Structure 1
């Protein structure tokens, strides 16, 4: 006789951004055999809900108020009934580190419903089955590469204004984006254009990070594929030289310097 409750996968969602959190809850709730038992907006709330609801799995954003997602994974591993963890984030550079936390999967935003269903299938396949570290690393890197290919095939475009028209720029065409007088200016090899519509640099960062963009400074978002050179600068900062005709120089803030070095290691 089948024990029906054991087939139900009880999931918790943890993301500090309400739209992303709500979307993930909605997508999971549409998958047969999945029950969403809660949604958290901070690291503290995540731990509290894990302890009170004892979920089978948690879909966790990397950047959570109160703790980094990878650190939170390590904390969850110490719990008596640790849930399986799927990292859901816009930041691809943490994939190699994620395997050390024994994460089941690593999903890049923006995600398709099919990608979340695939992560659920992996959780179910793994239940009760130990996974070696090399296997975990290989699985995460393979999933990351598949997601990158899916993103490249998506045909995403960034709309900008030019001479009364709306141009659609592919992410790989964009050199960098900057804030200027409460306006977002987007640069490619042909010039600079105001972003079309109400858009913030934070929103662009979320959308473009999977394409290799990096927030060098609070006012600059840089496509790392178009960085020609860089050099250390005073105060623990760096200066980037872009590969445009003007060889534009962009400063990496001290707060972002460590992240810049991490991203370089991934690219190399």
Structure 2
């Protein structure tokens, strides 16, 4: 699978350079072009194809949302990720078809999540996702208990807790210990809405009911089967993921 060709657009030169460096460091990205204003971006997009465009919103003249709407009218539009300091435009951004909405300052792991979304949304990624879904043995986890095998659907799992080479799957019916590395579950479950929030925890975004502070000032994600600690390095990414899920309407029916 070939690397992504992406365009970064921002009228603030230091922010544009920082985004360029982060994009170039991604193993999923093969080519990064930059533009300091929407008009220059349109010229580049007219002259050569891009898989995705990373757009700032607040720019003079044509802002990022207006540019995104123009790109959406193309016969073969690039995917759009908004990169902005303003959280209030998320609903509008997803309304015009953005695949992600990343808040500044941009964290490398949060940008990596956006790139994974782009990859899954490209024709090659969609084909790979369909192929993976056809053989996704980890959509249901077999649990051995007392000589019997119980099958736990991924949809029932609220969060995963690592215990060495094992993980504990936390569900409304109880916790189930399984011999599998948490890194393997993360690899297979990211597309299903699970994110790493701590070195020992994988969390289902749809299961989060609220964020709380613990007695020491740390962050906890509250679910109907317990609280999950969120490390400082993952806190911003989790908030971004929750905001994106809310903007997409993922919580409208409530958590299962």
* TM-score for the superposition, normalised by structure 2: 0.48
* TM-score for the superposition, normalised by structure 1: 0.46
